[in-house]
């Protein structure tokens, strides 16, 4: 607290990102980063862009990147907004579509940044509970509201909704914007991008951070009809006209078109996820069905907080959210098979030989 803080700053409850340790020997399974590196072609493009032209501002409209992304989805560049990570795009979307409206709605267990943006922009919100299986109940998303946000697959559960369910949510809420946050979609869910042409209230948000291994570059994009994209551009141009620097644009364009690398690495992550899910089930964990690059698990006898603390002292970070009914769950990012094996070995020795499934 300081007398210099504005009332907004004083009342903020900032999002707490997962720990980024400086010790590189730590096995990091706590922030859903991709265990495989970015496309080597993307890295080459970033290096090639590291030159005298950095004295010039980048393309504020990110035209080449938007054209490439649009082409993949059968859309046009007017359907694409590019931003400095999807978090920034989500912030602009909350500001542009939700502030000054009725309370918006999102599930009680979801990406905690949604609540943070509501605080930042003074947006009223209410939550609807996930069901006992941690699934989104589509019927709970039909009362009048100022807007809806769903992560698909959801975080931190990893559970995906089918496109039929997304369409139902869109049809039940035709007069407000529905944001579908697809940060993890490439690991096993269907993108709602195909619904953009027929739904004027849909904004799909994706990121290069997870499936394209570029969390450090900060690139995300949104897909929607031109009137929604224009709103995001108006906010951007009233905030920071150059959200993507020249290196980010060069890297993202190259990463987007290097589809072999993308396909190969995402399938490796999916295979490791299934292997880890089977190993953890054998160790007595309840493992939610994941369509993401992480697993959400709880153990029958050992408390999540204790497991997280002991894994930490073994040099393995996982994420524990000490809140409400997920207090006894852990979110474990899928690493390489070697990292997953090290995790399973560590858990086995923590649980001890006493446990019999
Ligand atoms: C990681 C994540 C994001 C943010 O991604 P950035 O593009 O790195 O800002 C957004 N939504 C969810 C649900 C995420 O897990």
Digit-coded pLDDT (tens) for 124-182:
999 999 999 999 999 999 999 999 999 999 999 999 999 999 999 999 999 999 999 99
Could you tell me if 119 and 133 lie in one domain?
Answer: yes
Could you tell me if 254 and 217 lie in one domain?
Answer: yes
Spatial CA neighbour of 128 closest among 74, 87, 169, 84: 169
**Residue 208 forms part of a structural domain:** yes
Please say which residue of 235, 258, 281 terminates a domain: 258
Atom of ligand 1 nearest to the CA of 86: 7
Could you tell me if 148 and 168 lie in one domain?
Answer: yes
How far away, in angstroms, is 353 Cα from ligand 1 center? 38
Report the residue among 149, 161, 210 best suited for mutation to probe ligand 1: largest number of ligand atoms under 8 A from its CB. Answer: 210
Question: pLDDT tens digits, residue range 280-325?
Answer: 999 999 999 999 999 999 998 999 999 999 999 999 999 999 989 9
**Residue 2 forms part of a structural domain:** no
**Domain tally, the chain:** 2
Spatial CA neighbour of 336 closest among 280, 293, 281: 293
How far away, in angstroms, is 155 Cα from ligand 1 center? 9
Could you tell me if 109 and 227 lie in one domain?
Answer: yes
CA dihedral 102, 230, 240, 147 (to 10 degrees): 20
Question: What single DSSP character describes residue 108?
Answer: S
Q: What is the pLDDT of residue 23?
A: 83
Q: Is 115 helix (H, G, I), strand (E, B) or coil?
A: helix
Tell me the residue range of the domain where 207 lies. 41-258
**Mind giving me the DSSP string for 228-271?**
HHHHHHHHHTTT-S--S-HHHHHHHHHHHH-HHHHHHHHHHHHH
18 pLDDT higher than 90: no
How far away, in angstroms, is 205 Cα from ligand 1 center? 9
Q: What is the pLDDT of residue 29?
A: 97
Question: pLDDT tens digits, residue range 259-274?
Answer: 999 999 999 999 999 9
Could you tell me if 14 and 134 lie in one domain?
Answer: no
Alpha-carbon gap, residue 80 to 224, rounded angstroms? 7
Q: What is the pLDDT of residue 104?
A: 98
Alpha-carbon gap, residue 249 to 240, rounded angstroms? 16
Alpha-carbon gap, residue 315 to 311, rounded angstroms? 6
Report the residue among 207, 219, 222 best suited for mutation to probe ligand 1: largest number of ligand atoms under 8 A from its CB. Answer: 207
Ligand 1 neighbourhood includes 181 CB (under 6 angstroms): yes
Q: Please give the share of the chain, as a percent, with pLDDT higher than 70.
A: 99
Please say which residue of 229, 258, 287 terminates a domain: 258
How far away, in angstroms, is 46 Cα from ligand 1 center? 22
CATH of the domain at 324: 3.90.1150.10
Could you tell me if 179 and 57 lie in one domain?
Answer: yes
Ligand 1 neighbourhood includes 215 CB (under 6 angstroms): yes
Report the residue among 117, 189, 209 best suited for mutation to probe ligand 1: largest number of ligand atoms under 8 A from its CB. Answer: 209
In Å, how far from its chain's centre is CA 106? 15
Indicate whether this model's pTM tops 0.75.
yes
Taking residues 39-53, report their average pLDDT. 98
90 pLDDT higher than 90: yes
353 pLDDT higher than 70: no
340: its two tokens: 């997953």
Could you tell me if 314 and 208 lie in one domain?
Answer: no
Atom of ligand 1 nearest to the CA of 208: 7
How far away, in angstroms, is 350 Cα from ligand 1 center? 31
How far away, in angstroms, is 120 Cα from ligand 1 center? 17
Atom of ligand 1 nearest to the CA of 210: 1
Please say which residue of 258, 280, 311 terminates a domain: 258
Residues 6+ apart with CB under 8 A from 222: 80, 81, 83, 86, 89, 93, 203, 204, 205, 206, 228, 229, 232
Could you tell me if 20 and 155 lie in one domain?
Answer: no
Could you tell me if 327 and 230 lie in one domain?
Answer: no
**Residue 249 forms part of a structural domain:** yes
Ligand 1 neighbourhood includes 106 CB (under 6 angstroms): no
């Amino acid at each position: 607290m300081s007398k210099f803080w504005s009332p907004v700053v004083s009342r903020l409850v900032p999002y707490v990102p997962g720990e980024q340790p400086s010790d590189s020997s730590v096995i990091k399974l706590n922030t859903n980063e991709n265990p495989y590196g970015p496309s080597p072609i993307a890295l080459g493009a970033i290096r090639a862009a590291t030159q005298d032209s950095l004295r010039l501002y980048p393309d504020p409209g990110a035209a080449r990147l938007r054209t490439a992304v649009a082409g993949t989805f059968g859309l046009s560049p007017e359907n694409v907004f590019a931003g400095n990570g999807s978090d920034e795009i989500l912030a602009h979307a909350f500001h542009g579509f939700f502030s000054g409206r009725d309370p918006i709605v999102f599930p009680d267990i979801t990406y905690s940044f949604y609540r943070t943006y509501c605080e930042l922009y003074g947006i009223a919100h209410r939550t609807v509970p996930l069901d006992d299986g941690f699934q989104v109940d589509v019927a709970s998303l039909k009362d009048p509201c100022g807007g809806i946000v769903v992560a698909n697959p959801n975080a931190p559960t990893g559970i995906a909704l089918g496109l039929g369910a997304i369409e139902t949510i869109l049809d039940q809420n035709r007069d407000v914007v529905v944001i579908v946050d697809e940060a993890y979609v490439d690991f096993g869910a269907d993108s709602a991008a195909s619904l953009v042409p027929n739904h004027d209230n849909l904004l799909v948000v994706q990121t290069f951070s997870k499936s394209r291994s570029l969390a450090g570059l900060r690139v995300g994009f949104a897909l929607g009809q031109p009137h929604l994209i224009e709103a995001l551009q108006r906010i951007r141009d009233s905030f920071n006209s150059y959200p993507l620097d020249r290196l980010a644009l060069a890297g993202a364009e190259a990463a987007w078109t290097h589809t072999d690398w993308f396909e190969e690495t995402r399938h490796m992550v999916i295979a490791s996820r299934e292997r880890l899910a089977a190993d953890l089930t054998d160790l007595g964990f309840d493992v939610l069905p994941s369509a993401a690059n992480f697993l959400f698990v709880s153990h029958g006898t050992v408390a999540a907080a204790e497991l997280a603390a002991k894994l930490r002292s073994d040099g393995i970070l996982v994420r524990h959210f000490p809140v409400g009914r997920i207090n006894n769950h852990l979110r474990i990012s899928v690493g390489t098979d070697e990292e997953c094996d090290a995790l399973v070995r560590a858990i086995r020795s923590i649980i001890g030989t006493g446990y019999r499934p």
